[in-house]
Each structure stands twice: as structure tokens, then as C-alpha cells.
Amino acid sequence: MNFPTYETLALERAGEHMLVVTLNRPEVLNAINTRMGHDLLDLWTRLTAEPGAARCAVLTGAGERAFCAGGDLKERNGMSDAAWRAQHELFERSFMALMDCPVPVIAAMNGHAYGGGLETALGCDFVYAVRGARFALSEARLGIMPGGGGTQTLPRAVGERRAKELVLTARAFTAEEGYEWGLVNRVCEPGKALAEAIDTARAIAENAPLSVRQAKKSIHCGLQTDIATGYRFEIEAYNRLVTTEDRIEGVRAFNEKRKPLFRGR
């Protein structure tokens, strides 16, 4: 895991196979500016192309108030139409790179998330959030609409009717409501979301990394199609694992009653 030093992100390893990524603009509630768009795109692209030892990543925000406040509206104030579209095209590529990343990414939502901040969490594989945090896709109040995948990822998480209500009213909801609706996997006590997400990342990292990546891809791509086609995709993904060293090691370790040593090969 060799990454450059990012201006808006803080990276640290949590054990041999886990990467913790922190949105690091706490003075503006970790709002996404152009620089952060470049940094996130570079990070997810590198993690896709050369994950190295990384088997799971956790994404969180700096400070205790917010995971991410969404797009930086101070930077956008007075922006020309051309500049706005160019910036948003960068953001689009960043969101897609996150959703396409083969390494599992867990959102550890340490606080509030609005607009693109919530869409960033929705682009992760699943979400842990602190009790009392508030979320919203509030773009309709600004004369725009969700543009970071929110009209696609939110209904897949909470259902079409609930998503329409939340997007069209732009109203905020709590982490507890998100848990009831299926958006949030676990509600954590304040200050605990990151630690609990790292514990889950550790459990994922102990499994065969190629198996984890193939299973993630199968779930993600299968949901875009009918069940029969999705199942055929699953079998193709499954068969790619049959010849791997990790499959041989996993079965051997089971029979020898020991912990397997997976190498991602």
C-alpha cells in the first residue's frame, strides 16, 4: 500500500491488511472541495489497480461533529457553469471509483452527513454510524439534485418509496432511522464507530482476499440484473477461485484443524 501524501485525506494502517482513510478537513466539516475530489479519485483508483496488502478499508471523517458536510459550497459560490460541470465530472469519477473498488470499504460515520457526504457513505459497502448523527440528501433545497449516485444508491438501500420521500422533501433523518430502514448496519455509541468498523474490517481481512473481492463483485453486479443472470455471474466468479492457492490452502487448513494463511494468490 504505497500512496502519496494527500492534502485532504489522512491515511494510516490498522494492522497488516487494513487501511483507515480519514476525510481531513474538520474546519469545514470535511466538505468535499476540488482538491478532495482529486485525492479521493486517486486513492480509490490506486486501491483498485494495486491493493497490495490491503484487504479492507475503513472511511471516516476527522473530528466528532461530521462525517462529511457534502460539497464545499463556499468554493462553489460564484463558480461559472463550466467550472461547476468540470468539478462535478471529477466528483462523478471519484464516486464511481469508490463503488467499483474491489476492496471492501466500510463507512464509519462519526457524525452528520449531508448531500455528497451521505452519497459517499452510500457508495461504501456498508455503514456504521454513531447514535444521534443526522443525514440528508438536501440538494433540492439548493436548486440542484443528488448527483453522487444518491438517486440510485439510496433506493437500493431503503426502497423506492422511502427514497423518494427523503430526496424530494430533502429532510434530515437520524442514524437510528437509517438503521430501521436498512441504510445503516450498526448504530454505535459516540466515538465508537471507527473502532467497531475496524473490528469488522479485521474479520473481513482474515478471510481469503480473492474470495472477498469476488463475492463483493458478485453481489454488486448481480443486483443490477435478474436473478438467473446474477447467478450465472456468481458461478463465473466462483470458478475463478477454484484454481487459486488460497482455495487449496483453505481446504488444507480446515482438514489440518489450523488457521489458514491466505496470500491472495
| Residue 174: how many other CB atoms lie within 10 Å | 16
Residue 119 known to be catalytic: yes
Select which of 92, 139, 176, 236 is catalytic.
Answer: 139
Q: In this model, does residue 2 exceed pLDDT 80?
A: no
Q: Taking residues 49-57, what's their average pLDDT?
A: 93
The class (CATH top level) of 9-205 is alpha beta
pTM score of the predicted model:
0.93
Residue 97 has pLDDT above 90, yes or no: yes
Q: Look at residue 111 in the predicted model and tell me its pLDDT.
A: 96
According to the model, what pLDDT value does residue 194 have? 97
How far apart (Å, rounded) are the C-alpha atoms in residues 247 and 209?
Answer: 11
Q: What is the pLDDT of residues 153-195, one digit of tens each?
A: 999 999 999 999 999 999 999 999 999 999 999 999 999 999 9
Query: Mind listing the pLDDT tens digit for each residue in 38-47?
Result: 999 999 999 9
**Contact by Cβ (8 Å): 43, 94:** no
User: 18: helix, coil or strand?
Assistant: strand
Task: List, for residues 243-252, the tens digit of each pLDDT value.
Answer: 999 999 899 9
pLDDT digits (tens, 9 = 90+) for 192-237: 999 999 999 999 999 999 999 999 999 999 999 999 999 999 999 9
Determine the pLDDT at residue 127.
98
**Across all residues in the chain, what is the average pLDDT?**
95
CATH of domain 209-255: 1.10.12.10
State the DSSP string of 158-175.
H-HHHHHHHHHH---EEH
Domain boundaries, the chain: 9-205, 209-255
Residue 139 is among the residues annotated as catalytic for this protein:
yes
Per-residue pLDDT, 250: 93
Query: Out of 119, 236, 245, 256, which one is annotated catalytic?
Result: 119
User: What percent of the chain is modeled with pLDDT above 90?
Assistant: 89
Question: Could you give phi then psi for residue 249, rounded to 5 degrees?
Answer: -65, -40
* pLDDT recorded at residue 1: 63
* pLDDT over 80 (residue 137): yes
Contact 162, 169 (CB under 8 A): no
264: pLDDT strictly greater than 90: no
Query: What percent of the chain stands above pLDDT 70?
Result: 100
8 Å CB contact between 63 and 101? no
